[in-house]
Amino acid sequence: MKDNASPDLSQCLDLLRTMYLIRYTEEQLAEDFAAGKTPGGVHLSTGQEAVAAGICAHLTDQDQLASNHRGHGHFIAKGGDPKTLFAEIYGKSEGICRGMGGSMHVADYSKGIIGANGIVGAGLPISTGAALADLLDDDGSFTVCIFGDGASNQGVLQESFNFAALWKLPLLYVCEHNGFCQFSPAETVTAGTISDRAKAFGIPVKVVEEGNDVRAVWNAMAWASEYIRAGNGPAFIEARTYRINNHFEREHLVVQTPYRTREEVEKMRQERDPIIMLRQWMLNENLTDEKVLSAIDKEAARIIQESVAFGEAGTVPPENIGLEYMFAGTYN
Amino acid sequence: MKDNASPDLSQCLDLLRTMYLIRYTEEQLAEDFAAGKTPGGVHLSTGQEAVAAGICAHLTDQDQLASNHRGHGHFIAKGGDPKTLFAEIYGKSEGICRGMGGSMHVADYSKGIIGANGIVGAGLPISTGAALADLLDDDGSFTVCIFGDGASNQGVLQESFNFAALWKLPLLYVCEHNGFCQFSPAETVTAGTISDRAKAFGIPVKVVEEGNDVRAVWNAMAWASEYIRAGNGPAFIEARTYRINNHFEREHLVVQTPYRTREEVEKMRQERDPIIMLRQWMLNENLTDEKVLSAIDKEAARIIQESVAFGEAGTVPPENIGLEYMFAGTYN
Amino acid sequence: MARTRLITAINDALREEMERDEKVILFGEDVEASIFGDTRGLIDLFGPRRVRNTPISENTLTGMTVGAAASGYRVVLHLMFANFVYTGMDGIANQIARARLMSGAQIDLPITIIASYGGGRANAAQHSDTPFSPVMSLGGIHVLAPSNPADAKGLLKSAIRCNDPVIFFEPGGRGGEIGEVPDEDYLTPIGEAAVLREGKDVTLIGMGSTMRMTIQAADKLDKEGVESTVVDVRSLAPLDEKTLCGAASNTGRVVIVDESRDRCSAASQIAAILADRCFGYLRAPIKRVTTPDCSLPYAPASEKYLLPSIGKVLAAANVVLSTGETR
Amino acid sequence: MARTRLITAINDALREEMERDEKVILFGEDVEASIFGDTRGLIDLFGPRRVRNTPISENTLTGMTVGAAASGYRVVLHLMFANFVYTGMDGIANQIARARLMSGAQIDLPITIIASYGGGRANAAQHSDTPFSPVMSLGGIHVLAPSNPADAKGLLKSAIRCNDPVIFFEPGGRGGEIGEVPDEDYLTPIGEAAVLREGKDVTLIGMGSTMRMTIQAADKLDKEGVESTVVDVRSLAPLDEKTLCGAASNTGRVVIVDESRDRCSAASQIAAILADRCFGYLRAPIKRVTTPDCSLPYAPASEKYLLPSIGKVLAAANVVLSTGETR
Ligand SMILES: Cc1ncc(C[n+]2csc(CCOP(=O)(O)OP(=O)(O)O)c2C)c(N)n1
Ligand SMILES: Cc1ncc(C[n+]2csc(CCOP(=O)(O)OP(=O)(O)O)c2C)c(N)n1
Ligand SMILES: [Mg+2]
Ligand SMILES: [Mg+2]
């Protein structure tokens, strides 16, 4: 596979569409949270859309994706329906998890979305098991685990590396390095370079220095998916990105000492917005025009507005439903 | 510090003494177990004495050592009294843990021996905390954590690396790589090279390929202790050794399929016995003579026989003592 | 029927279920060599795809079950000693026990965890716990504690076929205990206690490792002319409240025997249920014979002192027989 | 006395104890920024040597406390959400709770773990547990669950000065609740329940997050002419059996309110103790108001449905008042 593989026009437009869908989802949810419309808290991924889009562009519904607490973007990029996402976060029966999981637990198993997770790092063991299933199924599909730089300090990361390396599991690790672990700058809680930790287990690594360049992420993922599908075992991608939003939407109420400057955030917003970066590049290269791009933008906005409406129109789950969902109650 | 630092004659004789003490302890315990004299099981370290001796030769009582389930040798090398060791393993009040801990939990805090541990890998968090205390005390002492190749697959290893690297903890990791994780050959459960895992965190590493050469271990430890005492932060030693004994002394009763050949064990016993290796070297170099060496041998045998007698003469702890030891019941 | 050792019954259950359904996979530390003998020989029959030795990584092992089970496998994880339940607790508590609920029932989780528990062999504090309640308290996982070969086999087979997570607590050091096991394929239902005998004077409730002493105590009482109702709880979660209440109400005098530390034990849960649901039938204080709230010491006498015993069961029975209201 | 918010009382306790004894150190994830406000400002007062933000590594965090405490430090670990107790369970269960016993009492372990628990805020299943019993069941660690600012401060100060391990369960989302807190330095003793009022008709026992509704239920009953004895358990381990038994025996009618899932809950343990020790005084079934054995769903109404409430406490009180023997 060529190291300079690059998405073609239609792929670029798909990437843009995905990023817009994520962006509008997160912007909407920020408003919703402020307005008291989401019962629980939300962790938004504004500014990190390129990672979700670039990675998932190479996945099929048979491939599985485990995500973390900041999982809306991963859900959408992997083909989850924003309608069921909004309904979920609004706590409705029509939600993808019937309102039982909420923002931190969105999952659509029919699409291979095996779950956001509220326990930092917990996607790693789960996706190790999912990749074991892939290995046994031997159908060419594989599992991706997306986790943050903070999650990299959970020992389960290296435990999983060991399993994956030993058993040649078809498992891709994607570290979405946004520079912060909650309110701690990464360098204060994370020693060394995360991808080096994978190398120690013989797992090949690609570091995407500009993880907001969706084409760079797409390129790394083209390599990784080809490598893994060929049966070579696990691979690792570290994508450097930046979280524009608060850690969670309650942040300003609880954190009194700033852990980053407004200027830094503003600069990132202006200079490293993955949507603007992709648009700009396409226009510079004369691949398309404003009209096409703006149509995609509007279409995404419309889809999200419809999704919001769908979520709002949803019904409140029966009060007593929790106990019913606990167990299947069936035998094989 | 010179890379070829080497123990002088008196240091060599001390190393030999320590190794004999450990050897006779373990041989005695093998007999005791077979004779039903130890209430619980024992994990012996016959053949691995060079690691314990070479590492602990550089430690003072102020330095701390956390060990694992195979901890008799570490206990003795760090200055623990074999008398209280035997009494402990015989389950007597005069045992170092008053008979409450047994083989897997020997500890002598007055000597900085902060405990063998029955949970594989658990010494790592504990010694991370001990090293934090060292850092705060800032008195030039440091903490050593000895663990096996199997323990290296517990995620707490890398979690600890991260803490130690970030905070420059005075913490030495010693991986006693004996080639087996219980009944699994290391290469079947441990990917890559363990010391590489430390390097990923920027922790400097020495691999002692012949970990049964006590002088080689001593040399690596000379480097590590100087490095750490100088305030540089953590270091890592991987010492390759071999377990001559069973994993535990009940092994032949439970394991039906052999996981290594008799020949392999025999070869190791004959060619890589750390005691023979050191003796041989000293004689070859004309540093000493058989008489001196044999005096050390006999003296060690005598000490262990006295220790056995001490243990045998010990008293059975009061039945109801457990509850009393649970809590201090005091306030500061 | 054939006289079978407990550990053989468990081994048979694993083999039969792996034969029955090729989606059943088994992994854990040294499941090939099999320290307890329960997984012995399975590697030869089913090969390294389905039977896997693993590294020591309990946190990953427990979490892995979720990924593999949600992907269609029927996962058996052997955790070795029950104290390692704590080591791998995140996967059990935060994932296995609630992943189905959080997904809105999108997935089933056919997961069986095997762990060997209990004291009495000078294994010291880190290899002797009976951690029933930390798992019982989670809600989303069934908890089984068989006491004999037939139930062990039948319950383990049910566990493996169950589409929900189950932890199967194997009584440590009792692999050699022998009992009659049916020849044909059979299942012991999850959620059903067994009434082993009915007597009018006192109700003795035991489970797993304490069942033997409970029966022996009943035999002794019998010789003294005291008739016991004896119940084997078998399924700690769900608890068979109906059978337990019925057996308690028959006599109104109850002793519950559980090797767990007392605080929040299975025994306490059963006592609480009886004190609520059968209050009107109770004639005497409900007595619990459990381990005091202390880890087990190494020294055998000090260890034994803390554990339940026939003597303690009899003493408790005598208290409930001699206090309270007469019928 | 000063009217003080719960979270401020906790913050004050930490500050005062860190001032009092320079061996007190505090670490945990983002204890500088302090997501709940309880550790806010301590970094400014005591600096980065004694107040440390840590990586997300719960298994190491819990185990670390043992090494630092055995070396002479008085360690406070902030675990953030109580569900992370499971994530760091090995350190708590296999080390902290038994290291002293295993060493033959060579060491003391002055360790305080702080964790915020409880549901009702749509935090979903992984951020809403009330894991009292998994810790209570360990034996070697004291378990505290204060319900108001004064007790929170006094108990946390006791915990920090205690030479044994303590887990301090902070009621989640109740940091804003206000109460009178003494101005002077004071300690609330570990192991003592508080009788908040004495009444002859029914005994209501609450703890931590359920105390408020328990008091409110008592107030309602009062208006209906029913007099309650109200107990705040405060110390879940050790349990103040004497006070609990006394309060239960006064009325013979008991309702216990605990946000834990029912199975093996603190409520069940208390019920079991009462059914044993106060049997002769009981006039009605012992009722427990707990959370059913289910993780909490996200959807608020479905979550609320499962949690204890004033209505449920009153319903249980009415059952015990209307059944059983009259005095
Ligand atoms: C086991 C666990 N510990 C702590 C938390 C609290 N927490 C939630 S998100 C977070 C930071 C995660 O950082 P990172 O992995 O970099 O992801 P990011 O938030 O930056 O996307 C923390 C500490 C948690 N949810 N789970
Ligand atoms: C958490 C935990 N898991 C499993 C075990 C069982 N066990 C005891 S020793 C051992 C192997 C350890 O191998 P290694 O670390 O290489 O040490 P060695 O025995 O070779 O000295 C295992 C799996 C345990 N004691 N603790
Ligand atoms: Mg991050
Ligand atoms: Mg080894």
- The three-state secondary structure class of A201 is coil
Q: How many CB pairs under 8 A join C and D?
A: 187
Q: What would the mean pLDDT of D180-203 be, rounded to a whole number?
A: 98
Q: Which residue of C has its CA nearest to B102?
A: C298
Contact: B316, C299; criterion CB under 8 Å: yes
Who among A155, A190, A200 is closest to B196 (CB)? A200
- Using the beta-carbon criterion (under 8 Å), do B326 and C60 form an inter-chain contact? no
Q: Say whether C124 and B40 touch across the interface (CB within 8 A).
A: yes
Mean pLDDT over residues A136-142, rounded? 97
Residue D232 in contact with residue D194, Cβ under 8 Å? yes
Nearest-CB residue to D264 (from C98, C269, C287)? C269
Give chain B's domains with CATH numbers.
9-249+258-314 (3.40.50.970)
Q: Cβ(A86)–Cβ(A307) under 8 Å? A: yes
Å from CA of D81 to ligand 3 middle: 19
CA distance C283 to chain A (A): 34
Mention every residue, 6+ apart, whose C-beta is less than 8 A from residue C302: B99, B100, B317, B318, B319, B320, B321, B322
Q: Name subunits touching A (3+ CB pairs < 8 A).
A: B, C, D
Buried b (16+ CB within 10 A) or exposed e, A34-57: eeebbbbbbbbbbbbbbbbbbbbb
Which residues make beta-bridge pairs with C51?
A: C26
DSSP D158-172: HHHHBSS-EEEEEET
- Reference C25, options B108, A167, D321, D194; nearest CA is A167
Query: Does the bond joining B204 to the residue before it have cis omega, within 30 degrees of 0?
Result: no
pLDDT of C260 over the 70 cut: yes
Please give the Cα distance from C108 to C164 (Å, whole number): 6
**List of E strands, D176-215:** 178-181, 194-197, 202-206
Q: Which residue has the higher pLDDT, A255 or A90?
A: A90
pLDDT in tens, D249-301: 999 999 999 999 999 999 999 999 999 999 999 999 999 999 999 999 999 99
Each residue's pLDDT tens digit, B254-278: 898 899 999 999 999 999 999 999 9
Query: ipTM exceeding 0.95?
Result: yes
Spell out which residues of chain A touch residue B199, defining contact as CB-CB under 8 Å. 196, 200
pLDDT, residue A3, reads: 64
What's the CA-to-centroid distance between B92 and ligand 1, angstroms?
47
Task: Kindly give the pairing relationship between strand D2-5 and strand D178-181.
Answer: antiparallel
Q: How many residues does chain C have?
A: 327
Contact present, D161 and D213 (Cβ < 8 Å): no
Alpha helix ranges (H) inside chain C: 6-20, 42-50, 58-70, 84-87, 89-90, 99-102, 132-136, 149-161, 211-223, 241-251, 266-277, 300-306, 310-322
Active-site residues of D: which are they?
A: 127
| The pLDDT of residue D84 is above 50 | yes
Q: Which of D65, D94, D163 sits opposite B122 (nearest CB)?
A: D94
Give the single-character DSSP code of A108.
B
pLDDT tens per residue across span A145-192:
999 999 999 999 999 999 999 999 999 999 999 999 999 999 999 999
Give the active site residue among C74, C127, C153, C234: C127
C139 touches chain A (CB under 8 A): yes
- Position D327 scores a pLDDT of 47
Residue D30 CA: nearest ligand 1 atom is 23
Instruction: Name the burial class of residue C325, with classes exposed (0-12), middle (13-18) and buried (19+) by CB atoms within 10 angstroms of its CB.
Output: exposed
Asked if residue A233 has pLDDT above 90, the reply is yes
B323: closest chain D residue by CA = D101
CB–CB of D97 and C295 under 8 A? yes
Q: How far is CA C281 from CA C227, C253, C254, in A?
A: 17, 9, 11
Half-sphere exposure of A273 (CA within 13 A, CB side): 15
CA of B39 from ligand 2 middle (Å) equals 20
Helix (H) or strand (E) holding C24: strand C24-28
Ligand 2 first shell, C-beta below 6 A: B 69-70, 118-120, 147-151, 178, 180-182, 243, 247; C 29, 56, 58, 80, 84, 87
Interface test with A, best of D56, D59, D263 (most A CBs within 10 A): D56
| pLDDT tens readout for residues A192-212 | 999 999 999 999 999 999 999
Indicate if the pLDDT at residue C327 is higher than 50: no
Q: What is the mean pLDDT of chain B?
A: 97
Q: Nearest 10 degrees: CA dihedral of B170, B176, B180, B182? A: -70
pLDDT, tens only, D222-240: 999 999 999 999 999 999 9
Q: Encode pLDDT of C132-161 as tens digits.
A: 999 999 999 999 999 999 999 999 999 999
Rounded CA-CA distance D142/B202 in Å is: 39
Instruction: Give me the mean pLDDT over the C290-314 stretch.
Output: 98
Residue ranges of chain B with pLDDT lower than 50? 1
Smallest Cα distance from A151 to chain C, Å: 14
Measured in angstroms, the CA of C301 and the nearest CA of chain B are apart by 5
Cβ contacts (< 8 Å) between B109 and chain D: which residues? 70, 103, 106-107
Task: Convert the pLDDT of each residue in D237-258 to its tens digit.
Answer: 999 999 999 999 999 999 999 9
d(CA B209, CA B220): 11
Q: Which two tokens stand for residue D265?
A: 């809950």
Cα(B209) to centroid of ligand 2, in Å?
A: 22
Distance between CA D117 and CA C110 in Å, rounded? Answer: 29
The tens digit of pLDDT for each residue in C31-51 reads: 999 999 999 999 999 999 999
Pocket of ligand 1 (CB under 6 A): A 69-70, 118-120, 147-151, 178, 180-182, 243, 247; D 29, 56, 58, 80, 84, 87
CA distances (Å), A96 to each of A115, A308, B58, C68, C163, in order?
11, 14, 61, 21, 21
- For residue B158, which residues of chain A lie inside 8 Å, CB to CB? 155, 157-158, 197
Kindly state the percentage of chain A with pLDDT values over 70: 99
| Residues with Cβ within 8 Å of residue A140, at least 6 apart in sequence | A62, A229
Report CA Rg, chain A.
Answer: 19
Q: Which of B165, B189, B199 sits opposite A166 (nearest CB)?
A: B189
Ligand 3 mean position to A11 CA, how many Å? 28
pLDDT value for D71: 98
Residue of chain B whose Cα is closest to the Cα of D65: B129
Q: Does the annotation mark C127 as catalytic?
A: yes
* Chains touching D (3+ CB pairs < 8 Å): A, B, C
Mean pLDDT, chain C, whole residue set: 97
DSSP C209: G
Question: What atom in ligand 2 is closest to the CA of residue B45?
Answer: 21
What average pLDDT does range A251-270 have in this prediction? 93
pLDDT digits (tens, 9 = 90+) for C202-216: 999 999 999 999 999
CB C234 within 8 A of CB D233: no
Residues on chain B touching C305 (C-beta within 8 angstroms): 319-320, 322
Tens digits of residue pLDDT in A262-279 = 999 999 999 999 999 999
